[in-house]
Amino acid sequence: MNKFLTFFIIWVGSNLAVPFWVVGHVHLTMNVYEDLIEIIASFGMNILVLLAFWLEWKKHKKEEK
């Protein structure tokens, strides 16, 4: 189950990274975050992408050895 969860986080983060950051930056310039749910969702997606990046980096370093 742990391997599946790691794979799932990496897969979602990899597929979410570019669209979220490109669309997110446009969205940030046009909206004012007043809704707590939008703020929490934004932080959650950023954390998910960051976690996927970190897990992929650990996997890459292990494969280098």
What is the reported pLDDT for 32? Answer: 63
User: Cβ–Cβ contacts within 10 Å for residue 34, how many?
Assistant: 7
What is the reported pLDDT for 50? Answer: 83
| Residue 16, pLDDT above cutoff 70 | yes
Domain count, the chain: 1
Instruction: Provide the whole-model pTM.
Output: 0.63
Q: Which domain holds residue 39?
A: 2-64
Q: Show Cβ contacts of residue 20 under 8 Å, excluding neighbours closer than 6 positions.
A: 45, 46, 49
Whole-angstrom distance, CA of residue 50 vs CA of residue 63: 20
pLDDT level of residue 33 (50, 70, 90 thresholds) = low
The pLDDT mean for the chain works out to: 76
Decide if 42 contacts 10 (C-beta within 8 A). Answer: no
- Which is more confident, 19 or 50? 50
pLDDT level of residue 10 (50, 70, 90 thresholds) = confident
Residue 12 CA neighbour count, 13 Å, CB half: 14
